[in-house]
């Protein structure tokens, strides 16, 4: 983790390992949601003329593996 000391990282990992699976999943989903929100904000900032459909298509293009049948 950037800006986190090795000791703090170790403690954080230890705490996370002790969480119930449902809590660990919720954290992972929250992190994924945050990453998508940041990506959407970056695209809107870089391409202010794009509508939501174009932003969503570009997000899919970035997130899906090349050649994926659902990629735009």
Q: Say what the pTM is.
A: 0.73
Instruction: Give the C-alpha separation, 26 to 29, whole Å.
Output: 5
Instruction: Give the C-alpha separation, 67 to 18, whole Å.
Output: 39
Residue 1: pLDDT band with limits 50, 70, 90:
very low
- pLDDT, tens only, 8-67: 999 999 999 999 999 999 999 999 999 999 999 999 999 999 999 999 999 999 888 888
Domain parsing of the chain, residue ranges: 21-72
């Amino acid at each position: 983790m950037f800006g986190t000391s090795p000791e703090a990282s170790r403690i954080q990992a230890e705490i996370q390992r002790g969480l119930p699976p449902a809590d660990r999943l919720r954290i992972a989903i929250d992190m994924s949601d945050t990453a998508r929100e940041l990506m959407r904000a970056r695209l809107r900032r870089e391409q202010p003329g794009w509508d939501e459909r174009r932003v969503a298509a570009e997000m899919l293009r970035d997130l899906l593996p090349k050649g994926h049948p659902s990629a735009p």
